[in-house]
Chain A
Amino acid sequence: MINYQYDGTFPGFLSAVFEVWDRDRFPARIVPPEVAPGLFEETLEVKTADDHADRVWKGIAKAGGKQLCQRFMHVFLSRAPEAEDLMLFILKQLFDSKKNIAGDLSVEAVLKFTQLERKVLREVHRLYMFLRFEQTADGIWFAPVSPKYDVLPMTLNHFKSRFSDQAWLIYDTVRKYGYYYDIKVVEEITIDNPAFEKETGSLPTEAQSEDEQQWQEMWRSYFKHIAIRERANPRLQRQFMPKRFWKHLTEKR
């Protein structure tokens, strides 16, 4: 068994795929940096090379279509320990046997692959649901998030088209980077000395726009009054809206 150890990025993973076929030595495994290889296993460190990654990406698209590329990216983002193995398994069929098995759910690896993808897409959807903007004193709409997977980039089109006429900044407080949209383009940014609370992302009152507090109060009040007391069901509420999101929710903070 040869371990191809990559740097943990998606281009890094694709570069490792490139190496696997380039050296043509099997059986192979692709492993992320945090995995310590077994005592008697050979480990090769893969350097991330954009042109290699690009060739693999195009290779997948050619053999299985653009959508399959996307699916690999989604599964990659799950960071599940078995993700690399599943992806390599499907790629082997795709490149060596010229068979796209990604739709064949009777294969257990494919089923798992599909389930991982679903988890990631669900997290994307949850950002659409639970992200909350507040308006800052300089008029920018700020939203802190902390998704389970690194899916913020996947949400940008949605927020860009929905909030196209307001400048916004969405910041991942766990991975410490975000995106700023100035009504024209979206740019990746990092913030060194944030004015907001590091974990929850809440803004101090003086950093908020003049009427921000009033609107938040309105929302909290609406939230309270729309519930039917006779049907209170905190369990159901937590099931649909897991606690890990509450720190960013205006109505639950």
Chain B
Amino acid sequence: MHSAPFTQPLAPRLLFTAMDKLEKLKILASAAKYDVSCATSGSQRENTGGLGSAVSAGICHSFADDGRCISLLKVLFTNHCIYDCAYCANRRNNDIPRAAFTPEELVDITINFYRRNYIEGLFLSSGVMRNPDYTMARLTKVIKDLRLVHRFNGYIHLKAIPGADDALIREAGLYADRMSVNIEIPSEENLKYLAPEKDYGSVLHPMHLINETQQEYLPVRRYSKPAPKFVPAGQSTQLIIGATPDSDNQVLRLASNLYNENRLKRVYYSGYIHTNTSDSRLPALVAPPLKRENRLYQADWLMRFYEFKVDEIVDDAHPDLDLELDPKLAYALRHPELFPVDIQQADLHTLLRVPGIGPKSARLILSARRYGHVSSYLLKKMGVVMKRARFFITCRALAGRKAPDYQPDHLRMMFLDKSARKLTPDAVQLKLF
């Protein structure tokens, strides 16, 4: 595999610079599309003269043909790469058109898109050109120019290049709202198998560095208001799902660690798309595992917004999520002894465990019941999905059998029917054929 010759003829220098912005944009947007994150929340930058502002709630500006939110100009600086990771379309040994922006071009596109309200800002990632330091310095030049020369206050998400010098990463963090390092493969063993030039150490190092530097900046900011910010919107990472045999248990345990220990803001899950078809180390999936990806996101939400611990979602006995059932419902069915809960009495933590009740409606219930009884009619009005919740709660004027009165399997079947009607893309397809 490693002795494979370069199939890419070196482009003559002239031809290369003559490639126009539009061509580059096509290549480098396509090359960036597999990175799933699009969040623009968590950073507030006021407009202090100059252009733009980041609002803390984040704004999506469009939705691509695959239904994903477009909020940032998501591009690679270059898709040239000195590495050869098996799962990556930009790997050295792939014969694909290559391009690289100049910092000026990228700044120009960002500003012009921003002024038209197409985007919230820039999400800049890159293949590794020459070496990590060189690449990191180019990326930093782009965002530094945006901030200092063009006084751009929009949102900037920057990839940290593993292996780059600490000082470079620390400098970049002064201009970025968010930084991320993608782990990609959920276990070190499989990462080494698919990307022999990488290991967890090289990926985790910049993550620790960013986390530590953030902590250093916190006290400074407390004492002087306009103190410099360092990656104010925090870090994120991405895991590829289905390229390796790693279980959901492995994936979610890693995510949970990252949230707790490295204070990550988001972990993204990306269903593997079989692009490098000639590499026998990778599974020949006909379609990306979208259903599994969706279940992982649901499990991730449970950890972040529903006070679930990872052990409550998966463990050695249940290493993989039930694809046919959302993980919260699966949890409730495994624990009939916890239900039904009393809407009038239950605390927030318990309410959050009821299928059909979300964080918003749980809080509405808490505030509404201070004024009196919360009826099932009102619950419905608050957005509680009663079709589910009714089996797990007691409240005034709500009769009927509760979850513990059913055979677990029977209950599961009842919910399967209903969730199959939901519009998950593969469910729709299943129905059609």
Contact = CB atoms under 8 A, between A and B. Distances in A.
Nearest to B46: A161
B169 to A, nearest CB: 26
A240 B47 contact: no
B59 A106 contact: no
A104 interface: yes
A249 interface: yes
Interface string A141-166: 10100000000000000100111111
B273 A226 contact: no
B116 A133 contact: yes
A80 interface: no
Band of interface residues on B: 35 or more
B117 A133 contact: yes
B382 interface: yes
A230 B65 CA distance: 10
B115 A240 contact: no
Contact of B63 (A134, A135, A231, A237): A237
> How would you classify the secondary structure of chain B's contact residues: helix, strand, loop or mixed?
loop
Given A129-B60, A141-B115, A162-B47, A227 B26 contact: no
B112 interface: yes
B383 to A, nearest CB: 10
Contacts of B74: 226
Contact of A228 (B22, B33, B70, B116): B33
B25 A237 contact: no
Nearest to A166: B115
A241 B62 contact: yes
Given A141-B115, A225-B26, A225-B29, A161 B368 contact: no
Contacts, number: 153
B381 interface: yes
B372 A228 contact: no
A104 B371 contact: yes
B69 A240 contact: yes
Contacts of A105: 364, 367-368, 378, 382
B368 A230 contact: no
A226 B369 CA distance: 47
B164 interface: no
B367 A103 contact: yes
B432 interface: no
Interface in A190-227: 214-215, 217-219, 221-227
21 contacts: A103-B367, A107-B371, A132-B117, A158-B55, A162-B47, A162-B52, A163-B115, A164-B49, A164-B50, A215-B116, A217-B22, A218-B25, A221-B26, A230-B288, A231-B290, A234-B65, A234-B67, A235-B428, A236-B67, A240-B69, A249-B62
Interface of B: 21-22, 25-26, 29-30, 32-34, 46-47, 49-53, 55, 59-70, 73-74, 109, 112-113, 115-118, 273, 287-288, 290, 364, 367-369, 371-374, 378, 381-382, 423, 425, 428
